[in-house]
Structure 1
Amino acid sequence: MQYGQRHLKGDPLPWLLNPENPSVRYWTLMDILDWPASDPEVQETRAAIAQQPLVEELFSLQRPEGHWGEDETKPYTAQGAVAVLTLLHMLGAVPDGRTTAGCNSFLRFCQHESGGFSMTRKLRSGIFPCTTGGHLPFLVYFGLNDDPRVRAAFAFLIEEMSSENALNCGRYHHQPCLWGAIAALNGLAVLPAEMRTSQSQEVVNRLANALLGARYDFEGEHKRWLTFGAPRAWDLLSALKALAAHGFAPDSRFAPLFELALSRQDSQGRWLCGSVSHTWPIEKRNQPSKWITLDALRVLKKV
């Protein structure tokens, strides 16, 4: 019951804990069952992550200079640093010198003098807040939370998202960009404790209200929000996960969105994968997804 089993049509836990996928098993032990990192079984599972063919492949593609892809100055390509570091974070790869080198490469070529991240460090564009929020989690996970460059990125994100029109995006027809709200909330979820202020909390509240108060049209404009993907950060489950991370699960506006996500589970308490990566697919389309089910349990645990 501790992970919201009463909301499930079946118990997916044995399936998630199967050793065949050590990454999912590791996060299930840690995030759902709250096992300590010092537990021998947790340590054994994490050690197995490094031996997965995909993890070995990702590190084998890293260049001696620390980057991925042919051009270090373009980390946003399909096989560039952003895609690889995001995936390694998701897989639970242990931070080491290789991940630090990759993060340093990313920061060298994607951080603007303002502190924010963009496709190129030379341009200040309206996509800075969402890219900044979206990449801070892997930078913190890989141990750069005390790095002055990462602190500058947090400060940028808070300042940029403090304006009333922070979510007005030219790429979204100048409407509030809900994708941007999810990305910013994900970044602020890993904000160091000493940087948390009344201003940062006001930003969190504004972003959460944008997601909770939106007029969703799940038959039209927001229909694809009901297609859950792995990895993917722009769907209903991603929004619920971001909201739950900031303590908004008890909000009355959360409930109908949560119920809609629950309705997508199958008879065994599993969620299907509707969207996959073409570069490094970790699931199969229209098949039960361990990764999506894991995220659903992460949300359920906070309800």
Structure 2
Amino acid sequence: MSQISKTDDPVVHWLLESDPSIKWQTMRDILGKPESEWAAERKEVEFEGWGARLLSLQGEDGQWDGGSFCPGDFTAEMFREEGQPWTATYPTLNQLRELGFDPSSERAMRTVELIRKNCRWDHDGQPYWDGEVEECINGQTVATGAYFGVDVSHIVKRLLDGRMEDGGWNCESERGSVRSSFDSTINVLEGLLEYERATGGTNESVSARKSGEEYLLKRRLMFRLSDGEVADKKYLGFFDPNHWHYDVLRALDYFRNQSILTSSAPDPRVKEAIEHIRSRRLGDGKWAVDQDYKGKPAGREWFSFHDGIGKPSPWVTLRAMRVLKWWDETHQASGSDL
């Protein structure tokens, strides 16, 4: 049994005493408990802790802060002065999905319908569940829509049409970019994987998912192909939450989910990223959130999910522990030097 799976591990106890969203995922992913044991805790996301706080901030029309990507009263000048906000419907729904808000609950189903009726994209007034034009936004809208049982196949098709020649995606394509980006690609991949989990996917969506994965794997999740150097130093730090931002831990968590869904072994090209995660473990066995969002100011948020930059983060720690558990247990089972 992996060391981090043992119930006497003090870090596991710390996670189990955290928010319900952390507790139920720790029970499932670290302790390997069956659904019959963690399902009740997952339902508590709606009624206690971070999930309940986010839901309490929802407007009567189903939206958060009166808008889709940005708050309803947000202006371009406010964007320049305050930075990108994280309080509108889009980032809040994404966060609720990551917390594990039960999509079968009455509250979730009512939210889906209210958003369908009332929420329109800032870009051109498109209905929320129709998506808009940027790949990052559409990727996460696919992930959230599929998670909550919405038919998002039309947005998936748009993403497939926007795939670039190198196999990934880039939100700057409409402004002339011809190369994919790590950030855009991980946002789309998460959407395609959630769509596949919900529907089985299509031959085309599975092929696109694999090409996006190959884009990241060729770069070993963090390096440039041209010179082998780290593509962006921020990829080596950890966000909490990520929103649209890429980091190697987010990528590894994605590949863990993909491996579990498709019953496939870890790709050996992620090994350097795995060892980077291992090297960042603190002396007390936890991992810290160590960076804020690119650009200053950082933008408004409802509340923080951690105690500050450089402080241990339950979310970062949970993710790090489960990707290492996935890698190490696969290695032990195969007896190979991955």
TM-score normalised by length of structure 1: 0.78
State whether residues 69 and 90 of structure 2, in contact with CA within 8 Å, keep that contact through their aligned partners in structure 1. no
The residue that corresponds to 1:99 in the other structure is: 108
Match of 2:159 among 143, 157, 160: 157
Aligned partner (choices 138, 145, 151) of residue 144 of structure 2: 138
Partner of 1:121: none
2:120 match: secondary structure: helix
CA RMSD of aligned residues (A): 3.3
Q: Which residue pairs with 1:177 in the alignment? A: 181
Corresponding residue for 2:75? none
Q: 2:32 aligns with which of 31, 34, 51?
A: 34
How far is 1:267 from its partner? 2.3
Q: CA 1:46–1:165 in structure 2 vs 1: closer, same or farther (change >3 Å)?
A: closer
Number of residue pairs aligned between Structure 1 and Structure 2: 284
Indicate yes or no: 2:115 matched with 1:109.
Answer: no
Paired amino acid for 1:17: L
Q: Is 1:238 aligned to residue 254 of structure 2?
A: no
Residues 22 and 99 in structure 2, CA contact (< 8 A), matched pair in contact too: yes
How many Å apart are 1:47 and its aligned residue?
Answer: 4.5
* 3-state secondary structure, aligned to 1:229: coil
Stretches of structure 1 that go unaligned for 5 or more consecutive residues are 119-124
Partner of 2:214: 209
Equivalent position to 2:59, from 43, 58, 63: 63
Contact 1:116–1:157 (Cα < 8 Å) also in 2 = no
CA distance in 1, matches of 2:63, 2:170: 33
Report what 2:239 is aligned to. Answer: 229
- SS for the counterpart of 2:282 is coil
Per-residue CA deviations over 1:131-164 (Å, capped at 9, x if unaligned) read: 222233332333x1xx33x232233333433755
Partner amino acid, structure 2, of 1:289:
S
* Pair 1:116–1:14, CA change in 2 (3 A): same
Mapped partners of 1:116, 1:164: distance in 2: 26
How far did residue 230 of structure 1 move? 1.0
How has the CA–CA distance of structure 1 residues 92 and 263 changed in structure 2, closer, same or farther, with 3 Å as cutoff? same
Query: CA 1:257 to 1:56, structure 2 compared with 1: closer, same or farther past 3 Å?
Result: closer
- Asked whether 1:297 is paired with 2:321, we answer yes
Identity among equivalent positions (%) equals 25
- Select between 187-196 and 25-34 the one with higher mean Cα deviation: 187-196
Higher relative contact order (CA 8 A, sep 6+): 1
